A and B are shown apart, each in its own frame.
Chain A
C-alpha cells in the first residue's frame, strides 16, 4: 500500500511569493491534515480536510489555505510568503479524522529568502 506522498520535497521562494504544496493520502484515507514543523515551535496543526471540506483549523493567519479534491488529494497554499514561513510542511492522512492514528508524508521543506 503506497504511503502518503508529498510534492515537492524541497523548494526555495522569496518573500512575497506564494507557494502550493501537494499531498496524496494513502488510498482509502479520507482525512488529510497539514502541519508546520519548525525548530522553535515544533509541530503545529494547520488544518484538516475531510470529504473536500475543511473540518478543523489551527491558529494560523489567512495566508495559509488549503483544499481537498474528490479523490482525497489535498493542496495547501501560502500566499505573501514571509521569512518565518520557512519550515517543513507535513501532510498526514487517516481513515476518518485527524485525532487518531496519523500517517505522515516525508514533508515539503520550504525555504523563504
Chain B
C-alpha cells in the first residue's frame, strides 16, 4: 500500500528548542493531518490541512501542506516537556482509508 515516509524517526532536544519533522509520499494526498500520541493513549489530532500550500498554526505548532501535495511538515516552536510523545502524519488514500506515517518520537530534556 501507499507509504507515508516520515522523518526523523526520533529526536532528542533541549527544552526551548524548535523542532521540525516532515512527511513525504510518492502519491498526491488531498488532506494532510498531524496527530500526537502520548504513552498509553490514542492519537490526538493537532492540525488538519486541506489545501496545497496552506500554512496553519495551532499555538506553538505550525504545519504546511506542500505545494506538490506530496509532502507536509510540522514545526514546534519553543518546545516544553509536555511536547514529549510520538507525532504522526496521516492522509486519506484513495478516499478509502487513512494512511499513517511511522511516527517521530520526540524527547524533550528539561
**With A43-B88, A59-B1, A99-B31 in contact, is A104–B99 under 8 Å at CB?**
no
Chain B residues with a Cβ closer than 8 Å to the other chain, count = 23
**With A43-B88, A59-B1 in contact, is A104–B43 under 8 Å at CB?**
yes
Q: Which of A4, A99, A103, A105 contacts B98 (CB 8 A)?
A: A99
Q: Is there an interface contact between A101 and B43, defined as CB atoms closer than 8 Å? A: no
Expressed in whole angstroms, the minimum distance between the Cβ of A38 and any Cβ of chain B is 11
**With A99-B92, A100-B31 in contact, is A33–B98 under 8 Å at CB?**
yes
Best-buried of A45, A58, A97, A105 by chain B (most CB within 10 Å): A45
**With A42-B100, A101-B48 in contact, is A90–B31 under 8 Å at CB?**
no
Q: Does A85 contact B (CB under 8 A)?
A: no
Q: Which residues 74-105 in A have Cβ within 8 Å of B in the complex?
A: 90, 92, 97-105
Q: Is there an interface contact between A102 and B98, defined as CB atoms closer than 8 Å? A: yes
Q: Which of B33, B42, B48 contacts A105 (CB 8 A)?
A: B42
Q: Which residues of B contact A101 (CB under 8 A)?
A: 33, 45, 48
Q: Which residues of B contact A90 (CB under 8 A)?
A: 42-43
> What is the CA–CA distance of A71 and B12 in the complex, to the nearest angstrom?
44
Q: Which residues 13-46 in B have Cβ within 8 Å of A in the complex?
A: 31, 33, 35, 40-45
Q: Which residues of A contact B (CB under 8 A)?
A: 4, 33, 35, 42-45, 48, 56, 58-59, 90, 92, 97-107
